A and B are shown apart, each in its own frame.
Chain A
Amino acid sequence: AQKITQTQPGMFVQEKEAVTLDCTYDTSDPSYGLFWYKQPSSGEMIFLIYQGSYDQQNATEGRYSLNFQKARKSANLVISASQLGDSAMYFCAMREALNTGFQKLVFGTGTRLLVSP
């Protein structure tokens, strides 16, 4: 079963507008972490934001916020006031608290965001 689902292969947004990138996840583990990474065309994987399963408040980092709906198992990324430099591939990822304690990341298939002037 797919652990992380990103249903939007591509998204378009105009500069200065807000955009929401969808992510749903599947886990039976009560302890997990959800991550969003940005990958520009140059290839590097840039950490954006993290949400822990026990966190009471939605995570925010500057223009990035995570709309965490635990009951729906969704962790959507909201980018406010989009900038041209936000054009990139965005990956949602989950880290489960395995029995071994060693926690790898599992990625979704990504959403390519294009910001137009």
Chain B
Amino acid sequence: AAGVIQSPRHLIKEKRETATLKCYPIPRHDTVYWYQQGPGQDPQFLISFYEKMQSDKGSIPDRFSAQQFSDYHSELNMSSLELGDSALYFCASSPPDRTPSGNTIYFGEGSWLTVV
């Protein structure tokens, strides 16, 4: 079965640079979430999109932005990178709630960002 696809899997950037992470949700899933997991931390919610519109916003820095495109893929853009942005970034997706498994959220394998 198709899963959530994230790219790149690993990314090394220097301070003050910009990084873009991509996410392709499971087909027919209409909600996409972005999470950030720092070393030894639990995942923290950043932002979500429902049907290509921003639906909820968490602890996302102003330097970060995200959008969901017409094909439902999403991109997380991070500018003016700081050392503290080094983390594992997850994208997750969930189907419309009317489906039998509508309450399950599936995660991608994550994108490791290292800022040096």
Contacts and interface: CB of A to CB of B under 8 A. Distances in A.
Interface string A29-69: 00001010100000111110010100000000000000000
Contacts of B43: 45, 91, 105, 107
A76 B101 CA distance: 21
Contacts of A47: 104-107
Nearest to A31: B103
Contacts, number: 55
Nearest to A4: B42
Contacts of A44: 107-110
A102 B55 contact: yes
Contacts of A98: 56
Given A102-B31, A102-B48, A110-B42, A43 B55 contact: no
Interface string B76-90: 000000000000101
B33 A105 contact: yes
Given A100-B56, A105-B45, A43 B33 contact: no
Interface string B23-55: 000000001010100000011010010100001
Interface residues of A, number: 23
A44 B58 CA distance: 21
A102 B112 contact: no
A13 interface: no
A25 to B, nearest CB: 14
Interface in A66-117: 91, 95, 98, 100, 102-110
A104 B110 contact: no
Interface of B: 31, 33, 35, 42-43, 45, 48, 50, 55-56, 58, 88, 90, 92, 94, 103-110, 112
Given A45-B110, A95-B103, 19 more contacts: A33-B103, A35-B104, A43-B112, A44-B107, A45-B43, A45-B107, A47-B104, A50-B104, A100-B55, A102-B48, A102-B50, A102-B56, A103-B94, A104-B48, A105-B43, A105-B92, A106-B45, A107-B43, A109-B42
6 contacts: A44-B110, A45-B110, A47-B104, A47-B106, A105-B105, A106-B45
